[in-house]
Structure 1
């Protein structure tokens, strides 16, 4: 008999997990939220053009130790798409507003890519709301123009023409092992990118790839050094948005940080290497130690 694959579907990952999926009003923004588990609060933030399903392979494991909240950021997924630039202060404000709406005073924050940028900004400017911080492949710390252009062009191409081939290329960008990109993941992105108003919304997200806009929020030791929360930098060997040299910048700028590198993974270690991703979070957030 042929063995059942390790990953069947997103629903398969959540099938035996008690969870709640609903929309929450956050300052007038209808925000899609998934919650599971009990314990210390842990809020998960996805990346540019993403949605909470980015964490489908991790919810069950994290829910064993944490009250997990994953959500679609404003202008993303199936949350509302107001016509305003989604700059880092706006995304951070939406995060804090969601925490208020859910009655979360303080939480551990873990953000991937754009989400990492948002949680770092929140920790620097609202230190009283953050316990510990995980920056998961936060991307382009050095603000390289060529990386900005690649992110902008590939994302716009997929949203303007959300056919299977174009969106698949955009999702494959996130993976070192491209064979792990499922039809389900691609079609979820196609559904999001095809939402009415999403082309305008992605333009409002991609303002962060404009150097003139980005300069007010760019990674910089002036504000990064204000992050007082203990921080785990979760990097990979094959992240297309930034190498270990950029992790080194953050280690220099952050007052209390450690680095863990996940081998054989790209921009989405939470999907490609879920066991190691979970172990790193447990070690750092629960035990207060750097992952082995």
Structure 2
């Protein structure tokens, strides 16, 4: 699928658009935490095949209690079956993954939130275990399906937390349906156009076909790439992309991004919800300057920068991420 990209397409993309495409390459392995009480949780990749690969690399993250374990559920939205996880009760918090990702992206976040909130984590249409119809996918597609998903799972209003493409979707949904959003959390979000020449590592990552190219793109996504340094981990990563089954979806997003559809530039002033922007300082994809733009253009928003962290802080610095998120949800600054 990635081979369908060519230099003409790359040259027409915004940097932000290309970043979302690279995420399809890196979102294939779930977080796996070791049980070291004094150490920061170690990162891993996430996506449709993530849990299988993570199990081959390190032990799975422990669940705090059986009561907090999320339930596997299904909803039918516009005729398509959507898979989601649900845990806890209380005000609703919906977690949205990025391009090529899945519910596995939020593995370390669900149990802590579920102690006080009803946490809902969908595989967005075209990804993970959800059905993958041959639609002309774009961000507005995800917005419409999220609106339909609200209705099917009985949600009137929710806090939206989105990473990367999920953040793009969350912001677009808040603009389109302001009455259905309580609070907004954007995590290393995409959606703002930054034109300019692409780094050669990013270009190579669009068609990663060697171990070195995989390692190069991982260095842009994570601050700490040690968990992915072995050939076995890299080989499993490449194999997982082959079997992910979301190639058509991703290609349609590539086409949409190349056309500059649904970008958030000039629209963020419409967001009036309490908003937290979480960013890894060392994010090599959606760099901190983009997070600062979100912060500047969304009135009253807070910017929480996580040090020594890349593009997926909910995985790489789970404890710090969860603490900041819970503090914001509780209304604390």
| TM-score bin, normalised by smaller chain | 0.7 to 0.9
Q: 1:252, 1:4 → 2: CA distance?
A: 39
Structure with bigger RCO (C-alpha 8 Å, 6+ apart): 2
Check the 8 A contact 1:9/1:184 in 2, yes or no. Answer: no
RMSD: 3.0
Q: State the partner residue of 1:202.
A: 250
Q: Can you give the 5+ residue segments of structure 1 that lack an aligned partner in the other structure?
A: none
Q: Can you give the 5+ residue segments of structure 2 that lack an aligned partner in the other structure?
A: 1-33, 42-57
Check 1:272–1:11 CA distance in 2 against 1; reply closer, same or farther (3 A cut). Answer: closer
Question: How many residues are paired up?
Answer: 278
Q: What secondary structure is seen at the aligned counterpart in 2 of 1:90?
A: helix
Question: 2:280 aligned with 1:236, yes or no?
Answer: yes
Check 1:63–1:284 CA distance in 2 against 1; reply closer, same or farther (3 A cut). Answer: same
Check 1:186–1:24 CA distance in 2 against 1; reply closer, same or farther (3 A cut). Answer: farther
Q: What secondary structure is seen at the aligned counterpart in 2 of 1:58?
A: helix
Q: 1:207, 1:152 → 2: CA distance?
A: 16
Q: Deviations over 1:204-241 (max 9, x none)?
A: 1222431xx22x312212x2111111111111111112
Q: What is the deviation of 1:251?
A: 2.2
Check 1:150–1:47 CA distance in 2 against 1; reply closer, same or farther (3 A cut). Answer: farther
Q: State the partner residue of 1:104.
A: 155
Q: What secondary structure is seen at the aligned counterpart in 1 of 2:284?
A: coil
Q: State the partner residue of 1:254.
A: 298
Check 1:248–1:170 CA distance in 2 against 1; reply closer, same or farther (3 A cut). Answer: closer
Question: 2:141 aligned with 1:90, yes or no?
Answer: yes
Check the 8 A contact 2:202/2:217 in 1, yes or no. Answer: no
Check 1:147–1:44 CA distance in 2 against 1; reply closer, same or farther (3 A cut). Answer: farther
Match of 1:178 among 197, 214, 225: 225
1:1-292 → structure 2 map (5 Å cutoff): 4-5=35-36, 8-10=58-60, 12-13=62-63, 16=66, 17-139=68-190, 141-146=192-197, 154-155=205-206, 157=207, 173-181=220-228, 187=236, 190-191=239-240, 193-196=242-245, 198-210=246-258, 213-214=259-260, 216-221=261-266, 223-286=267-330, 288-290=331-333
Q: What secondary structure is seen at the aligned counterpart in 1 of 2:134?
A: coil
Q: 2:71, 2:235 → 1: CA distance?
A: 24
Q: What secondary structure is seen at the aligned counterpart in 2 of 1:234?
A: strand
Check 1:147–1:61 CA distance in 2 against 1; reply closer, same or farther (3 A cut). Answer: farther
Q: 1:119, 1:144 → 2: CA distance?
A: 23
Check the 8 A contact 1:140/1:246 in 2, yes or no. Answer: no
Check the 8 A contact 1:20/1:35 in 2, yes or no. Answer: yes
Q: 1:205, 1:278 → 2: CA distance?
A: 30
Check 1:195–1:271 CA distance in 2 against 1; reply closer, same or farther (3 A cut). Answer: closer
Q: Deviations over 1:30-75 (max 9, x none)?
A: 1110111112100001111111101111111111121111111111
Q: TM-score, normalised by structure 1?
A: 0.83
Q: TM-score, normalised by structure 2?
A: 0.73
Check the 8 A contact 1:116/1:134 in 2, yes or no. Answer: yes
Q: 2:300, 2:199 → 1: CA distance?
A: 28
Comparing 252-261 and 237-246, the one that deviates more: 237-246
Check the 8 A contact 2:94/2:158 in 1, yes or no. Answer: yes
Q: 2:307, 2:111 → 1: CA distance?
A: 23
